[in-house]
């Protein structure tokens, strides 16, 4: 593992998606939490822009070994903490209340580029997909879940219309232990993709990865933790890469900003709680043509920014966030 990490550290530098847009919409002073540290692109950008300290949180132990190549240059201004961003308020400890939180959701390009991690169907490797490198793996899920649960995961987390057909094929082909074998099974029951279309296994791999890592449950808990940890005037910046993630972030921020619409003559308005966030700006930000030319990964990215008010935090009404039905269900 150490050799893999050092090799990754010597590659071309990671390009943090929408970083220029983030820096244009937040104040990079004080103490920030980078809740998805990864290759450290956001943390480095915030430190270079004047943040007093960045607390980098990640559940993947490999990222901190990779960061040793450059992290010492920032001294006490960069603190690295192993854990999940769902616990960021506790992991920040005495550094809070925080001036800002930035989250870059989903799997990182660094993880995709390592065949041994099992995230990508483009490089054959063990069927793993665990961000924290512990607990049940994708192979455990693929080989242990029944057909109905597999189909539900593919449909709810991947929006895969052929979920039942794929689930039946997986059951028939088990045991499946590599990414290449799983991709081949999925390709075998779906039409061949046309030029410009995504690989037939894209949605299924996304769905399985989300399930293995409880990504949507972690996201909701992380947004709640950010609300608890931020000072009045502190900022939350979230970059998402697919519609399900963005839907959750959008609905959370809108609900907390009191921007969910009023009543009608059929359903009279009810008194709203005081907002805990203000939307700054109100709409999502996407990459411009210059960034897309530099970094194709930004193509599907959306940035949403909200600023904390002085209203005390409160429990999230998860029913109104458009969560897939499987969130919170024991899958493995």
What pLDDT shows up at residue 283? 95
What pLDDT shows up at residue 197? 82
End-to-end CA distance of the chain: 26
Domain assignment of residue 169, yes or no: yes
Alpha helices, DSSP H only, in the chain?
A: 2-10, 19-25, 41-48, 62-67, 88-92, 109-112, 138-144, 147-158, 163-173, 179-189, 202-213, 215-229, 243-256, 289-294
What pLDDT shows up at residue 1? 35
Tokens of residue 246, six digits: 């963005």
Residue 32 exposed, middle or buried by CB count within 10 Å (0-12, 13-18, 19+): buried
Do residue 182 and residue 228 come from a single domain? no
Spell out the per-residue pLDDT of the chain, length 332, in tens. 333 333 333 343 467 999 999 999 999 999 999 999 999 999 999 999 999 999 999 998 888 988 988 999 999 999 999 999 999 999 999 998 999 999 999 776 666 666 678 788 888 999 999 988 889 999 999 999 999 999 999 999 999 999 999 999 999 999 999 999 999 999 999 998 888 788 999 999 999 999 999 999 999 999 999 999 999 999 999 999 999 999 999 999 999 999 875 555 555 555 678 999 999 999 999 999 999 999 888 999 999 999 999 999 988 777 777 778 787 677 76
CATH number of the domain bearing residue 239? 3.40.50.150
Of 156, 184, 214, the domain-final residue: 214
Q: Give pTM, 2 decimals.
A: 0.89
Do residue 231 and residue 275 come from a single domain? yes
Structural domains of the chain, count: 2
Of 160, 184, 214, the domain-final residue: 214
Do residue 264 and residue 141 come from a single domain? no
Do residue 223 and residue 101 come from a single domain? yes
Do residue 166 and residue 220 come from a single domain? no
CA distance 270 to 262: 8
What pLDDT shows up at residue 12? 39
Do residue 204 and residue 132 come from a single domain? yes
**Residue 301 in contact with residue 240, Cβ under 8 Å?**
yes
Alpha helices, DSSP H only, in 36-146?
A: 41-48, 62-67, 88-92, 109-112, 138-144
Domain assignment of residue 326, yes or no: no
Tokens of residue 278, six digits: 């203000």
Do residue 235 and residue 308 come from a single domain? yes
Residues with Cβ within 8 Å of residue 54, at least 6 apart in sequence = 31, 32, 33, 34, 43, 46, 47, 74, 77, 78, 79
Of 214, 236, 257, the domain-final residue: 214
CA distance 4 to 317: 42
Domain assignment of residue 46, yes or no: yes
Domain range for 278 is: 2-109+216-320
CATH number of the domain bearing residue 208? 1.10.150.170
Do residue 102 and residue 150 come from a single domain? no
Report in angstroms the alpha-carbon separations of 73 from 14, 48, 78, 110, 277.
Answer: 18, 11, 9, 22, 35
Domain assignment of residue 178, yes or no: yes
Domain assignment of residue 83, yes or no: yes
Per DSSP, 274 falls in state: P
What pLDDT shows up at residue 154? 97
Do residue 221 and residue 104 come from a single domain? yes
Do residue 182 and residue 247 come from a single domain? no
Domain assignment of residue 329, yes or no: no
Domain assignment of residue 327, yes or no: no
Tokens of residue 122, six digits: 């483009």
Do residue 105 and residue 220 come from a single domain? yes
Positive or negative: CA dihedral 97, 219, 26, 283: negative
Do residue 234 and residue 309 come from a single domain? yes
What pLDDT shows up at residue 272? 74
What pLDDT shows up at residue 109? 66
Domain assignment of residue 285, yes or no: yes
């Amino acid at each position: 593992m150490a050799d893999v990490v050092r090799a990754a550290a010597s590659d071309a530098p990671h390009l943090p998606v929408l970083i220029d847009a983030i820096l244009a919409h937040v104040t990079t002073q004080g103490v920030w939490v980078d809740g998805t540290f990864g290759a450290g692109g956001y943390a480095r950008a915030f430190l270079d822009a004047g943040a007093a300290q960045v607390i980098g949180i990640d559940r993947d132990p490999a990222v901190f070994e990779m960061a040793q190549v450059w992290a010492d240059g920032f001294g006490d201004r960069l603190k690295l903490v192993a854990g999940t961003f769902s616990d960021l308020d506790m992991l920040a400890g005495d550094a809070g209340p925080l001036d800002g939180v930035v989250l870059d959701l989903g799997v990182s390009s660094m993880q995709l580029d390592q065949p041994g991690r099992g995230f990508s169907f483009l490089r054959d490797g063990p069927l793993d997909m665990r961000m924290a490198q512990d607990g049940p793996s994708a192979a455990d899920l693929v080989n242990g879940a029944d057909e109905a649960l597999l189909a539900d995961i593919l449909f709810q987390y991947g929006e895969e219309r052929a979920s039942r057909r794929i689930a039946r094929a997986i059951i028939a082909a088990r045991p499946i232990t590599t990414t290449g074998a799983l991709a081949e099974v999925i390709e075998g029951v779906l039409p061949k993709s046309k030029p410009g279309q995504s690989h037939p296994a894209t949605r299924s791999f996304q769905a399985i990865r989300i399930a293995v890592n409880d990504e949507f449950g972690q996201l909701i808990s992380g947004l709640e933790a950010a609300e608890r940890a931020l000072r009045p005037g502190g900022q939350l910046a979230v970059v998402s890469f697919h519609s399900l993630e963005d839907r959750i972030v959008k609905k959370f921020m809108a609900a907390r900003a009191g921007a969910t619409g009023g009543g009608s003559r059929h359903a009279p308005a009810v008194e709203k709680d005081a907002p805990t966030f203000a939307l700054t700006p109100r709409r999502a930000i996407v990459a411009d043509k210059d960034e897309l030319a530099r970094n194709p990964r930004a193509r599907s990215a959306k940035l949403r920014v909200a600023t904390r008010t002085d209203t005390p935090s409160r429990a999230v009404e998860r029913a109104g966030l458009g969560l897939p039905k499987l969130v919170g269900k024991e899958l493995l």
